[in-house]
């Protein structure tokens, strides 16, 4: 599996484009800059099978509809994120653009489901806390963590549907159970590993609250 990460938008969201040897692809969190994403897909001759949303915040979904129109791929999100995705007050889209486009989602998934494209299979890990329907995607030693965990720190829990105790639980009892060698590609900032975060992540600071 190859991974191309493109930083999009005004707050630097990581869009991950992943693909197998036969160019079957998935796009995780197309946050903005649809033209750049489309050029990358075209330059690499990728066949995009799915657009996967770790969660519904505006900085992760802003280019969904343009990408869906270009690729014909189906858009996938967690079933508990439906309300947030459909409401720009909850997705925060309203605060950056009064006409923020609500992403068109084709299918909703849940814990343990597999999202497929060619040789790639992403396993859904439901990780509420940053948002209620936030999810991480795991495949072959790689985790796409959205805004649940970052290099050295954790996601915010003060936006609609956020919850600190759920967030720390998701990190400690779901993400940290993965092998230490798992490489984490998060929604903002550099990549890290489960082993490194188990040692240094700020999540431990918030456990006693």
For Zn ion, the binding residues (CB under 5 A) are: 57, 59, 147, 187
Our CB check for Zn ion shows the closer of 24 and 186 to be 186
How far apart, in Å, are the Cα atoms of 93 and each of 8, 28, 84, 89? 15, 18, 10, 7
- d(CA 7, CA 34) in angstroms, rounded, equals 11
Our CB check for Zn ion shows the closer of 80 and 147 to be 147
Our CB check for Zn ion shows the closer of 43 and 158 to be 158
**Least separation, in Å, of the C-beta of 179 and Zn ion?**
25
Residue 39: helix, strand or coil by DSSP? helix
Going 40 to 153 to 195 to 161, the CA torsion angle's sign is negative
**Least separation, in Å, of the C-beta of 60 and Zn ion?**
6
Our CB check for Zn ion shows the closer of 9 and 195 to be 9
Total Cβ atoms within 10 A of residue 82: 15
Residue 135: helix, strand or coil by DSSP? strand
- d(CA 167, CA 154) in angstroms, rounded, equals 8
**Least separation, in Å, of the C-beta of 41 and Zn ion?**
21
Q: Where are the alpha helices (DSSP H) in 45-133?
A: 58-61, 64-71, 82-86, 88-91, 93-96
**Residue of 106, 142, 147 whose CA lies nearest to 129:** 147
**Least separation, in Å, of the C-beta of 180 and Zn ion?**
25
Our CB check for Zn ion shows the closer of 33 and 147 to be 147
**Residue of 142, 121, 43 whose CA lies nearest to 76:** 121
**Least separation, in Å, of the C-beta of 23 and Zn ion?**
28
**Least separation, in Å, of the C-beta of 116 and Zn ion?**
25
Our CB check for Zn ion shows the closer of 59 and 80 to be 59
DSSP state, residue 103: P
């Amino acid at each position: 599996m190859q991974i191309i990460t493109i930083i999009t938008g005004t707050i630097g969201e990581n869009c991950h484009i992943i693909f197998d040897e036969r160019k079957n692809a998935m796009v995780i969190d197309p946050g903005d800059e649809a033209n750049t994403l489309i050029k990358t897909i075209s330059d690499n001759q990728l066949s995009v099978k799915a657009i996967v949303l770790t969660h519904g915040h505006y900085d992760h979904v802003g280019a969904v509809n343009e990408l869906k129109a270009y690729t014909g791929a189906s858009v996938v999100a967690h079933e508990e994120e439906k309300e947030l995705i459909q409401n720009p007050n909850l997705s925060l889209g309203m605060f950056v653009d009064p006409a923020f486009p609500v992403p068109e989602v084709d299918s909703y998934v849940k814990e343990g489901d597999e999202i497929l494209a060619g040789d790639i299979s992403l396993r859904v890990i439901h990780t509420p806390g940053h948002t209620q329907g936030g999810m991480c995607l795991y495949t072959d030693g790689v985790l796409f963590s959205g805004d649940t965990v970052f290099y050295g720190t954790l996601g915010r829990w003060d936006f609609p549907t956020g919850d600190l105790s759920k967030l720390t639980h998701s990190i400690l009892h779901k993400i940290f159970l993965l092998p230490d060698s798992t490489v984490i590609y998060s929604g903002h900032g550099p990549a890290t590993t489960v082993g490194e975060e188990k040692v240094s992540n700020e999540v431990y600071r918030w456990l006693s609250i």
